Amino acid sequence: MSARTDTSEDFAPRPRVLTRLLLPAALLVLAVLAAVAVVRLPPHLACGGLGSGLVERGGECIGVTDGGPAFLPGPEELHEEYRRIQSLIKAENDRVADDGRPSVKVALVSTLTPDTGGPLSPEQILHSLRGAYVAQMRANHGEEARLGDPGLQIRLHLANAGKVQDKWEPVVEELIGMTDDRAPLIAVVGWGLSVQDTEDAAARLSEAGIPMVSSVASATGLNHSTIPGLVRITPSNDDFVRALAEYADARPDLSRAALVLDENSEDRHVNTLTEAFRAHFGDRIVSEEPFGGTTVGDEYRYVEFFNIVQNVCGTGAEMVLFSGRTANLHDFLDRLRGRYCTERPVTVLFVETGPVIAEEDVRPLDDSDITVVQASANDPRWSLEEDSGAPAGFAPFYRAHQEYLGGQGLPAELSDGYALAHHDALMTAVLAIRSQYSERRGELPSSAQIRPALFQLKDGNSVKAASGSLQFPAARAGDPGGRPVPVIEIPDRGTGHPVHHTPLE
């Protein structure tokens, strides 16, 4: 018998047999891929899909975008407003990318997924985005010399570090990586909270040589002195309390103070506020009344101030220096209205970026002989009227807001100060960037060259910002010099809202 000749055809399975062999393997592969998808994909898919630049962390979408996909925090009724402003930012960024002129990126880092119980409200963050967008449009389209050479266009990117800025690490690393882009990231603005995470994140950006302009984080010392390259728009807590001390000096009926202070050791805002009250009110403080307050990252909890109010009455103090967060101020005022010493007027001194008393709460304060005196970053009475006391830069900002956003929310949304602060932060960064662009005759500057340029914004190069004329002399270590600090009485007792100005040295 002759041997059989083997061929590949002889040993090839029939098509049906091949299908039976491959099908289980294919199903196994699909099952594995599905399992991987279940483990890996949802964090990305929940935040705009793969390639969005965002990832879900602890229920929040974390990362950096150019305006899309949109962050949608807070109640649903605000979502359309959030979509609108971020779509406008993205449209402008896309236009700049196609424009052909050189451009650079500036990132706004903030708590872009706030909730109603967080340290910053969804409304405040919405106003922040609108203010920054107005500054971007003025920079790219305005013909105002005050914003530098529009030959260098500005792309505005949005970086979410979490509702209490505790998820900053991947965001900061992404921002650092963007410094090598063809249109490089060259500065960061924002930073809404005076907390340790803000300091740590800013320190990491500083190590990478990226300059920063903070908007509303006011803790004393959170500036160039501790984090090289960090300047800010807001007055420091020390500046705010100086303004309150000047107000008290002009009131001979205010000679004794009770310092009501939050003892939370991790809250840098409260700690430096307490230090400032002690420094500037000194011997006028006749008692200190500590409490355990609600700090950043905590869920709000009501604080019972009954015993503290009793003690305040017992000291005979005419004023209370309240060193705490806004939520706890309202708890204190609720209890203070029912104090046993109602025959004696009480003035409560406080610090916040914008007004803290709602219109419907003014009458109950008046009926209880309570006056809240607040050092603020802006005055809600500022308007286009010549006698409103508004800074020279306020009217151009207001008109630009009308032009680019249709005046949406004006004038009410300006009262909390967040639109102005973020507009002014981006405006300051743009001026420093473009000054170096002009000096280098059209060559893109590096982020390292922007840092010293921030401290050249003084004297004849001061920033004509919406919140006032800002200067950054080296002696102020990044805090704004010559900046107005309005002092607001609620109810208005007729003092005319005195304005303190921060020192230049």
**Partners of 153 in the beta sheet?**
103
Q: Cα-flanking dihedrals φ and ψ of residue 232, to 5°?
A: -145, 155
> What six digits make up the tokens of 339?
């104090």
Question: What does the pLDDT look like over 446-460, one tens digit per residue?
Answer: 999 999 999 999 999
Handedness of CA 353, 358, 363, 365 (dihedral sign): negative
Angle (nearest 5°) at CA 24 between 20 and 26: 110
pLDDT band at 25 (very low <50, low <70, confident <90, very high): low
| Rounded Cα distance, 18 and 32, in Å | 22
DSSP string, 326-344: HHHHHHHHHHHTT-S-TTS
CA nearest to 466, candidates 412, 425, 416: 425
CA nearest to 414, candidates 386, 362, 376: 376
Question: Which pLDDT score is estimated for 355?
Answer: 84
| Rounded Cα distance, 271 and 265, in Å | 7
Q: Is the pTM of this model over 0.75?
A: yes
Q: Domains plus CATH for the chain? A: 54-235+384-472 (3.40.50.2300), 238-376+488-501 (3.40.50.2300)
Question: What does the pLDDT look like over 263-318, one tens digit per residue?
Answer: 977 789 999 999 999 999 999 999 999 998 876 666 667 788 999 999 999 999 99
Question: What does the pLDDT look like over 128-178, one tens digit per residue?
Answer: 999 999 999 999 997 666 688 889 999 999 999 999 899 999 999 999 999
| Rounded Cα distance, 292 and 302, in Å | 10
**Within a 13 Å sphere around the CA of 377, how many CA atoms are in the beta-carbon half?**
28
- Strand 370-375 to strand 468-470: parallel, antiparallel, or no bridges (unpaired)? unpaired
pLDDT band at 14 (very low <50, low <70, confident <90, very high): very low
| Rounded Cα distance, 181 and 178, in Å | 5
| Rounded Cα distance, 348 and 322, in Å | 7
> What six digits make up the tokens of 152?
């260098």
| Rounded Cα distance, 196 and 217, in Å | 11
Contact status, residue 61 vs residue 55, Cβ threshold 8 Å: yes
Question: Which pLDDT score is estimated for 456?
Answer: 97
Question: Which pLDDT score is estimated for 12?
Answer: 42
Query: What's the helix, strand, coil split of the chain in %, to 5?
Result: 45, 15, 40
Has residue 7 got a pLDDT over 60?
A: no
| Rounded Cα distance, 256 and 319, in Å | 6
Q: What percent of the chain has pLDDT over 90?
A: 71
| Rounded Cα distance, 220 and 237, in Å | 5
**Partners of 298 in the beta sheet?**
none
| Rounded Cα distance, 325 and 276, in Å | 15
Name which residue leads in pLDDT, 149 or 17: 149
Question: Which pLDDT score is estimated for 144?
Answer: 65
Contact status, residue 405 vs residue 451, Cβ threshold 8 Å: no
Question: Which pLDDT score is estimated for 37?
Answer: 43
Handedness of CA 243, 245, 248, 249 (dihedral sign): negative
Residue in the structure block whose two tokens are 């083997």: 6
Name which residue leads in pLDDT, 38 or 205: 205
Residue 286, SS3? strand
> What six digits make up the tokens of 82?
């959030």
Residue 30, SS3? helix
Residue type, 86: Q
Contact status, residue 294 vs residue 329, Cβ threshold 8 Å: no
Question: Which pLDDT score is estimated for 363?
Answer: 96
